[in-house]
Amino acid sequence: MEDEENIEDELLLVESQLNGLQDKIKTLLDQQEELYERQAQLKALLEISKTSRDTSNSAPSVALEDWSGKFSWDSQADDTRFNVFGISSYRSNQREIINSIMSGKDVLVIMAAGGGKSLCYQLPAVLRDGITLVVSPLLSLIQDQVMGLAALGIPAHMLTSTTNKEIEKFIYKALEKGEGELKILYVTPEKISKSKRFMSKLEKCHHAGRLSLVAIDEAHCCSQWGHDFRPDYKNLGILKIQFPSVPMIALTATATSKVQMDLIEMLHIPRSVKFVSTVNRPNLFYRVYEKSSVGKVVIDEIANFISESYPNNESGIVYCFSRKECEQVRRPHNTEMLS
């Protein structure tokens, strides 16, 4: 009887110890989970930190490497610049950018609007064997570029929602079989992310060694930190993954260092050579005048300012707040100068 009591006592003790242990095990398991989670976070942070360090180390500015020196393609490049593009000399950084692409490097170009970014990929596109793929965000930009290139006698086409079946067939044959004359192909980012058929033709083109260069125009659209984010630009990283040996040039007029880092990462071009030209355009400036009156007097003042400052019949733009105000300003009885 006494034995039984002792056993029951011990059983209670063991059970309470077991309960205590189970609580401890649960606490330890919770701790373990937290530590695993923190370990994963720290590993990811370390990876990001290493990548950004590698990126900044391996994206030297042009000052660290001389891309203006002598290269085997110099005379051919000069000849093409002058005789095909009708351009007598390079602007700042254009020669260096072209040389680095011709050397097979990935390149990041930050150059002011109107600075001459197009030549930086169009000239290598003409010099290199094969087809250059250009990704550009706007149909109107693409149309302008293709028309301009056609006028220069450079075989360029665009593959967009507006392309007719016959041209599409021609482009696919050029990609797949190397038939027909095609040097530069413009597409929108949607083509890369949404058309499996196009990507498969591009793959064949690359496999046959005919994809010579990939250019990403308005590359800041890749970054959510940029002012013009386009979701389909996010998928352009696939191009470097699928065609690692093909040089890539990313061009933009506006990229803060955060956006630059972002797009280098998204496009998978950590070793790209970076060229930054000044975005200062001394011909553009603001000047503020105090309005002396309202109504017709102000419009006359605008007209006087224009005729005094721009006596050679140059054109300009007058911005107003609304369409109605535009109409008031341009009324023929105000002045002929504002139309």
Distance CA 115, CA 93 (A): 10
Distance of CA 73 to the CA centre of its chain: 27
Q: Could you tell me the smallest distance in angstroms from the CB atom of residue 86 to ligand ATP?
A: 8
With respect to ligand ATP, which residue has the nearer C-beta, 118 or 335? Answer: 118
Contacts of 136 (CB under 8 A, 6+ apart): 142, 145, 186, 187, 188, 217, 218
99 binds ligand ATP (CB under 6 A): no
Q: Could you tell me the smallest distance in angstroms from the CB atom of residue 113 to ligand ATP?
A: 4
Segment near ligand ATP (CB under 6 A); pick from 110-118, 124-132, 192-200, 261-269? 110-118
Length of the chain: 339
277 binds ligand ATP (CB under 6 A): no
Q: Which of 251, 282, 247 is nearest to 117 (CA)?
A: 251
With respect to ligand ATP, which residue has the nearer C-beta, 97 or 175? Answer: 97
Binds ligand ATP (CB under 6 A): choice among 67, 99, 110, 117 = 117
Torsion 285-291-292-298 (CA) sign: positive
What is the DSSP code (8-state) at residue 76?
H
114 binds ligand ATP (CB under 6 A): yes
Segment holding 120, helix H or strand E: helix 117-127
Segment near ligand ATP (CB under 6 A); pick from 69-77, 83-91, 123-131, 203-211? 83-91
Binds ligand ATP (CB under 6 A): choice among 80, 93, 94, 223 = 94
What end-to-end distance do the CA atoms of the chain give, in Å? 116
84 binds ligand ATP (CB under 6 A): no
Q: Which of 199, 167, 197 is nearest to 180 (CA)?
A: 167
With respect to ligand ATP, which residue has the nearer C-beta, 7 or 113? Answer: 113
Distance CA 15, CA 319 (A): 85
With respect to ligand ATP, which residue has the nearer C-beta, 116 or 237? Answer: 116
91 binds ligand ATP (CB under 6 A): yes
Interacting residues with ligand ATP between 217 and 276 (CB under 6 A): 253
Segment near ligand ATP (CB under 6 A); pick from 89-97, 175-183, 258-266, 323-331? 89-97
Contacts of 163 (CB under 8 A, 6+ apart): 157, 171
121 binds ligand ATP (CB under 6 A): no
DSSP-based three-state secondary structure for 212: strand
C-alpha distances out from residue 192 to 146, 209, 214, 232, Å? 19, 19, 12, 8
Binds ligand ATP (CB under 6 A): choice among 90, 121, 198, 275 = 90
Check if the beta carbon of residue 210 is closer than 8 Å to that of residue 180. Answer: no
Segment near ligand ATP (CB under 6 A); pick from 53-61, 111-119, 195-203, 287-295? 111-119
Q: How many residues bind ligand ATP (CB under 6 A)?
A: 13
With respect to ligand ATP, which residue has the nearer C-beta, 116 or 155? Answer: 116
Torsion 146-150-153-159 (CA) sign: positive
Binds ligand ATP (CB under 6 A): choice among 52, 56, 116, 235 = 116
137 binds ligand ATP (CB under 6 A): no
With respect to ligand ATP, which residue has the nearer C-beta, 277 or 335? Answer: 277
Binds ligand ATP (CB under 6 A): choice among 65, 71, 74, 119 = 119
Segment near ligand ATP (CB under 6 A); pick from 11-19, 38-46, 113-121, 260-268? 113-121
Distance CA 334, CA 3 (A): 118
Bridge-partner residues for 276, per DSSP?
110
Residues that bind ligand ATP (CB under 6 A): 87, 90-91, 94, 111, 113-119, 253
